[in-house]
Amino acid sequence: MDEHRLGLKPIRRRVWALRGKTPLVWERPSYRWLYVYAFVRPSTGENKHGLLPLVDTESFPAVLEAFARARGAGRGRWGG
């Protein structure tokens, strides 16, 4: 698992303050996260990927199921 963030970092701006006083400015950076689920076959470089806003126990099986359908795998293929 690896992490990478795309997007702008907070920008510092000028603010009004009394002469000789240091202004206090509170920053509250907020980011929108997007996670890449990727499956790669090393021998051929073939890959399948999915983008989801969460990493949790509910979304991961859905990604695995979509991957199995794309590859033609699953219960129907193995008689299960």
Q: What is the pLDDT along the chain (80 residues), one digit of tens a residue?
A: 455 666 666 667 777 888 888 887 777 766 777 888 888 888 888 888 888 888 888 888 888 888 888 887 766 554 44
pTM of the predicted protein model:
0.51
Q: What is the pLDDT of residue 80?
A: 46
Q: What is the pLDDT of residue 79?
A: 47
| Structure tokens, 49 | 């990927």
